[in-house]
A and B are shown apart, each in its own frame.
Chain A
Amino acid sequence: MLIAVILTLAVGTYAFRLSGVVLRDRLTLPDRVHRLLPMAAAALLAALAVTAALTEAGAFAGFARPTGVLVGAALAWRRAPFIAVVVAAAGTAALLRLLGIP
């Protein structure tokens, strides 16, 4: 049963991944739609980042994580190096939790 679950998930996920790549070639998209694709990806990734920052299993994730992400995002906005963004975000969240803020 477990093997079947893992394999179904793996094959299904791979099918999602590959079908987009293959469809891209098969579909002759009008220029306007083609121009929308990067925007669609940006919307998906932004939604992923914001929901991951704010929520955990459908509920509010607590204050430490969003504060850390906010600090990282502010540094990114100020064009800080990528490493600084990631380390500052994690460090802020870790520090807040050390202080007892969830």
Chain B
Amino acid sequence: MRTAERTATPASTPALLRDVGAIGVAIVAIGASFGAVAVAAGLPVLATIAMSTLLYAGGAQFMAVGLIAAGSPVAAVFAGLLLNARHLPFGLVLGDVLGRRWRDRLLGSHLMTDEATAFALAQPDPAGRRRAFWLAGIVLFFAWNLGTLAGVLLASRVGDPLRLGLDAAFPAGLLALLLPALREPETRRVALVGAAVAVLVTPVLPAGLPILLALSGLAVLLLPRRGRHRARPC
């Protein structure tokens, strides 16, 4: 069976659940490794759990635990916030998906992650995007927190996610969700240039900044293009 995101038709709820579930299983495992790493680094159990429920941002959580353990709590705050600044542009795009009701906006904002955003944007119509966002948002939130709890409880018995190759699962999943958008030539050029810029500056800039600089990929739209003299009048 084909994954529905890659066709023009919206994915059915069972198909979406299956796809979200695939990432959800990986997130439980990564969450477990976060819980184990945090407790091993000397974080109290309650603080570890609070991080996953209140902060709910995997990358920033791992980074913060490392910096707190290294004795630089102020750096942990700055690095974590820089890493999460990308959620502001995500919110601009998801604004339509979350609608105007304050209950949905307040709750949906907390469930906003890279994966939930990617699942939503992979859908072709507004109703599908809304369904995909909430489904991915809720399932992944529970997966991450369930994983964290398991990691805290099992501590040293949690396996290394690298041995399972889980670090390769997330980029591959994101790329798969992006493919329908990337089949559109303009979006593809913007995304390719943005990703190239981000990779090039990653060795020299603090985490988070390279991702934000990917927005510079939009500049390719300003370049004149051959074979497109009869440009749209807008």
Contacts and interface: CB of A to CB of B under 8 A. Distances in A.
A85 B176 contact: yes
Contact of A82 (B22, B162, B197): B22
Q: How many B residues are at the interface, by size bracket?
A: 35 or more
Nearest to B173: A86
Given A14-B110, A46-B191, A86-B176, 7 more contacts: A17-B112, A32-B234, A37-B93, A47-B217, A58-B207, A91-B165, A93-B168
Contacts of B125: none
Interface string B100-123: 100001101110101001100100
A73 B77 contact: no
Given A2-B68, A16-B91, A40-B93, A45 B168 contact: no
B87 A73 contact: no
A43 B174 contact: no
A2 B91 contact: no
A47 B210 contact: yes
B228 interface: no
Q: Please report whether the interface of chain A is mostly helix, strand, loop or mixed according to DSSP.
A: helix
Contact of A81 (B3, B106, B191): B3
B53 to A, nearest CB: 9
B20 to A, nearest CB: 9
A38 B93 contact: yes
Given A16-B91, A54-B199, A83-B19, A69 B171 contact: yes
Interface in A7-22: 7-10, 12-14, 16-22
B167 A93 contact: yes
Interface-central residue, A57, A66, A67, A86, by most chain B CB under 10 Å: A86
B174 A48 contact: yes
Interface residues of A, number: 78
Contact of A73 (B18, B94, B172): B172
Given A44-B194, A46-B192, A97-B162, A16 B84 contact: yes
B187 A42 contact: yes
B195 A64 contact: no
A20 B210 contact: no
A6 B95 contact: no
A95 B213 CA distance: 34
Nearest to A94: B165
Contacts of B199: 47, 50-51, 54-55
B169 A20 contact: no
Nearest to A26: B95
Interface in A27-61: 31-32, 36-55, 57-59, 61
Given A13-B80, A82-B3, A49 B55 contact: no
